[in-house]
Amino acid sequence: MQRAGSTACLAYRDVANRPRVPQLSHITRPRAAEAQRTHRCAAIPICCAHLGDGGATTMSRIDRITIQTYQYTLDNSGREYTRFLLTIDTDDGLSGSYAPHFGGTPHAQAQVQEMARGLIGVDAEQRELVFERLKISHRHYDKSGISVIDTALWDLAGKKYGVPIAQLLGGFRERLPVYASTTSGQPGRGGLGSAQGYADFAESCQSAGIPAYKIHSFFDGNPKTEIDIMTAVRERVGEDMKLMVDPASSLKSFMDAVEVGRACDDLGYFWYEDPYRDASSSAVAHKRLRDFIRTPMLIAEHIRGFEQKADFTLAGGTDIMHIDPELDGGITGTMKLAHFCDAIGMEVQLHTAGPMHRHCMAAIHNTHFYELGLVRPDSPTNILQPPIYADGYGDEVGNVGEDGCVPVPDGPGLGVTYDADRINSGELGRLEVR
Ligand SMILES: [Mg+2]
């Protein structure tokens, strides 16, 4: 399929005709900005005509956006995943990339594709303008595509100035204390097949210096299952390890949520997350639930939107705000929410793991732990991480230092190098917008 017009050109090549690029994270080429100079506003929501002068000598205008779809299989499950890599190039030869993990869903990719045309000609450093315009233009949807674009723009800015994103954000810490976040288990199967299996894994994480551990149980909706596992783990690791439980909205009723919450109180759990089947969507319900229990609740993982998360929090729906950088507006959206919570004396937790999460956490003081997950005892593979890094980057138990922390990548931008050969070998297609 190919479409061309006076303002933009999209070219899609399927797998049978796919090109090869040698260095995905460093696509550079001389390019006259002819298309940009002839660019017309038309119905495009963001364009150069909407922007101020901004300093012609330093401006980096977006002139090409590439979305590469790829497939991979995880060794420990045999399951096939499809994700994508976004690369944004500018007319002065700069490039920024982001390959989302958990947030690299087909609907996020569809949003990125739809948003891409409106970005041609925009100053790549006007991230706030991009965030605001995309938020409005995609107000009917969950806006997860913004996160991928925003992160690639932060990567580009870091590379432009030769510094890590954490430094651009204003660093607070260089080492990130982790918690091991388990996969769900299955009774009788594998390392997480029983309450003792969860206890064994918690103990091994504790021995590795990891200071905290979060249980994702069998998700069978049975409070007794949750409480049995929680009890076995606490008895095994003693009082020195912080423990959390996330039923992931699997408990069947509000009173089941109260029962498990009271067990959290009795066992001294650090937080209690997304208990029952309203999918943590009701602030009123969780405000009531908080009246029954003492353990702090971590809610809002399933609330999408900058304003919606603030509303949920102010309505008393949570004690700690859960922010997913890949779903809640990227680095820009994450930092807005973290600062909002800071102002009202609330901590935040970032959902899942990845390079962008590390840079954000490095610059957020009102947070406790980095979620190392999802991990399990019978395989070193983090099931949420695509195997696309050529530099040893990883979010697995073996990547945690003796201090129970992981580092913040210290190279320019995101500070990671994608494995171009690995991504190209799984390529399913490629879309170019320019
Ligand atoms: Mg959760």
Enclosing domain of residue 377: 167-407
| Bridge partners, residue 69, by sequence | 84, 429
pLDDT score of 189: 85
The reply to whether 111 falls in a domain is yes
Q: How far is the CA of 124 from the centre of ligand 1 (A)?
A: 33
Which residues, given as ranges, of the chain have pLDDT below 70?
Answer: 1-57, 76-77
Say if residues 122 and 61 touch (Cβ distance below 8 Å): yes
CB of 434 closer than 8 Å to CB of 35? yes
| 332 in Cβ contact with 131 (< 8 Å) | yes
242: phi then psi, degrees, rounded to nearest 5: -75, 135
What six digits make up the tokens of 42?
A: 């038309």
Residues 185 and 275 in one domain: yes
**Residue-wise DSSP of 300-351:** -TT--SHHHHHHHHHTT--SEEEE-TTTTTHHHHHHHHHHHHHHTT--EEE-
Q: Residue with structure tokens 């940009």?
A: 36
Using one digit for the tens of pLDDT, what is the confidence trace for 266-313?
999 999 999 999 888 999 999 999 999 999 999 999 999 889 999 999
| CA 248 / ligand 1 centre spacing (Å) | 5
Do 70 and 131 belong to one domain? yes
Q: Are 189 and 225 contained in the same domain?
A: yes
Amino acid at 78: G
Q: How far apart are the first and last CA of the chain?
A: 15
User: Which pLDDT score is estimated for 270?
Assistant: 98
pLDDT at 74: 84
Domain shared by 83 and 36, yes or no: yes
Task: Give the chain's domain count.
Answer: 2
Q: Does 412 reside within a domain?
A: no
| Angstrom distance (rounded) from CA 300 to CA 318 | 7
Do 232 and 260 reside in the same domain of the chain? yes
Ligand 1 centroid to 157 CA: how many Å? 31
* CATH of residue 386: 3.20.20.120
pTM: 0.87
Tokens of 336: 């807005």
Taking Cα atoms as reference points, which of 203, 200, 226, 204 lies closest to residue 215? 226
CA 279 to ligand 1 center in whole angstroms: 10
The Å distance, Cα 273 to ligand 1 centre, comes to 6
Both 85 and 206 in one domain: the answer is: no
Report yes or no: 265 and 237 within 8 Å, Cβ to Cβ.
no
CA of 249 to the centre of ligand 1 (A): 8
Evaluate whether residue 35 is within a structural domain: yes
Q: Residue 347 C-alpha to ligand 1 middle, in angstroms?
A: 16
Cα(113) to ligand 1 centroid in Å equals 28
* CATH, residue 153: 3.30.390.10
**Chain mean position to CA 54:** 30
**CA 181–ligand 1 middle distance (angstroms):** 9
pLDDT tens digits, 137-163: 999 988 899 999 999 999 999 999 999
Do residues 191 and 197 lie in contact, with contact meaning Cβ atoms separated by under 8 Å? yes
For residue 76, the model assigns a pLDDT of: 64
- What span, in angstroms and rounded, lies between the C-alpha atoms of 317 and 341? 13
Cα(112) to centroid of ligand 1, in Å? 25
- Candidates 386, 424, 387, 388; CA nearest to 13 is 424
How many Cα atoms within 13 Å fall on the side-chain side of residue 336? 18
Ligand 1 centre from 251 Cα, in Å? 13
Say which residue the tokens 């976004």 belong to: 86
Say whether both 60 and 36 belong to one domain: yes
Q: Residue 381: its pLDDT value, please? A: 87
Helix or strand or coil: residue 11? strand
328 close to 337: Cβ distance less than 8 angstroms: yes
pLDDT of residue 279: 83
